[in-house]
Amino acid sequence: MTEIQPFKIDIPQSDLDDLRDRLRRTRWTGEIPGQEWTRGVPLDYLQQLARYWADEYDWRAEEAALNELPQFTTEIEGETLHFAHLRSDNPNALPLLLLHDWPASFMIFRQVVAPLSRDFHLVIPSIPGIAFSGPLTSTGWHAGKIAGAFIELMSRLGYERYGVQGQGGGAWDAVEMGRQSPENVVGVHVNGHVTFPLGQDGEMDGLTEDEMRRLGKLQHFRDDMMGFAIQQSTRPQTLAYGLHDSPVGQLAWIVEKFREWTDPATELPEDAVGRDTLLTNVSLYWFTGTAGSSAGLYYENGHNPDAWTPRPTGTVPTGVALAPTDITIRRFAERDAPVTHWTELERGGNFLPKEQPDLFIADVRTFFRGLGAIE
């Protein structure tokens, strides 16, 4: 059960035909005029995206581009784990695990693969429950279990010392890997990381004006943007029926998050990541039927009894790249791990590898070079 098998994406033509048929037969709801994005994705914008997805978007071209990455599957804890694996020509390269989050997918790293492969052997998994690492058939896949699965994956690949990079929810998995396996993890680099105050005495004392502003964004995140998380962490199965049956429903659910979590300087999510990238990402969820199991990751973390248990600070050096959308405060990040590298970027958002690939690549290299892990 530990065998690693080659994998190639090959979506049946019947699935493509079904998608286009469903998109063209969408029963559209109305909307209150003049609301823009305040109540969710605007009707006219979603209709434009859906028409493009049905009539102009070229999945086969995107599929071929994704298949340029060597891909594999293996079974861990009874579930299929999908990953891309690219070995560097550099004999001194460091293995580096790249972890995405919901609502992204492994393809979010596609643009940074070639440049990073000069210094790193790259392992890019689909997070359990998402795309080709799903749908899940078992429970308990919270951050701790996911981290353990990735530690096992790196061991199977023969990597004893390696770095980890995580974006968004993948940052939680990355930090947890450092906690569980400090003897293997050289360093952890994160972006889009979210850390919360725990209500401890003095934790708010002496915050800078900028940190207070960021804390205000955290409050906004809790008050105005947590509807998706509440639904996914409490009733993911109920949500799954609608998203699994309606491609427009799946599209709206993901596009809204890309709009909220990409660079605020961009007007539309496609301005930040590109329209085809946006639709390829949604297509991966649609074709694999992982709306429910990906939402279920929030349920698992929300129902993990150890999630908020205080833990000792980790020992693995940690680097943080902070985009304008990020709400991490350094003292809260340092509560979890020793932060040895901290960069505040002027551009980008949660999906930094796609939004600002050059900034992402430079910061990852600077962090690991500072650890002496690459030349």
* pLDDT, tens only, 4-32: 999 999 999 999 999 999 999 999 999 99
Higher pLDDT among residues 42 and 327, named by residue? 42
Long-range contacts of 308-316 (CB under 8 A, 24+ apart): 308/198, 310/198, 311/179, 311/336, 313/337, 313/338, 314/175, 314/178, 314/179, 314/182, 314/338, 315/178, 315/182, 316/178, 316/179, 316/182, 316/185, 316/186, 316/187, 316/188
Please give the helix or strand (H or E) that residue 96 lies within, else none.
strand 94-99
Pull the structure tokens for residue 38: 């305040």
Distance of CA 175 to the CA centre of its chain: 14
Average pLDDT in the 232-239 region?
A: 96
Confidence of residue 196 (pLDDT cuts 50, 70, 90): confident
Assess contact for 166 and 190: CB atoms under 8 A.
yes
Whole-number mean pLDDT of the chain? 95
165 lies in a domain? yes
Q: What is the CATH classification number for the domain harbouring 310? A: 3.40.50.1820
- Span 160-167, mean pLDDT? 98
What is the structure's pLDDT at 115? 98
What per-residue confidence (pLDDT) applies to 213? Answer: 86
Residue 315 clears pLDDT 90, i.e. is over it = yes
Q: Which of 152, 143, 236 is nearest to 194 (CA)?
A: 143
Would 116 be classed as within a structural domain?
yes
Whole-number Å distance between alpha carbons of 279 and 49: 8
pLDDT in tens, 337-359: 999 999 999 999 999 999 999 99
How many helices and strands, by DSSP H and E, does the chain display? 16, 9
**What local confidence, expressed as pLDDT, does residue 223 receive?**
64
Per-residue pLDDT reduced to its tens digit, 56-90:
999 999 999 999 999 999 999 999 999 999 999 99
Distance CA 349, CA 167 (A): 10
Environment class of residue 331 by beta-carbon count within 10 Å: exposed (0-12), middle (13-18) or buried (19+)? middle
Residue 210's domain comprises 5-28+35-370
Q: Is residue 140 part of a domain?
A: yes
pLDDT of residue 306: 83
The pLDDT score that the predictor gives to residue 212 is 87
Question: Which pLDDT band holds residue 273 (cuts at 50, 70, 90)?
Answer: very high
Residue 375 lies in a domain: no
Interatomic CA distance for residues 66 and 88, integer angstroms: 18
pLDDT in tens, 207-222: 898 888 888 877 776 6
Question: How far apart are alpha carbons 160 and 162 in whole angstroms?
Answer: 7
Residue 310 has pLDDT above 90, yes or no: no
pLDDT band for position 274 (cuts 50, 70, 90): very high
| pLDDT given for residue 233 in this prediction | 95
| Paired tokens of 232 | 């996914």
The number of domains in the chain is: 1
Q: Does any domain span residue 138?
A: yes
pLDDT, residue 222, reads 67
Mean pLDDT, residues 40-44 taken together: 97
Pairing mode, strands 120-125 and 162-167: unpaired
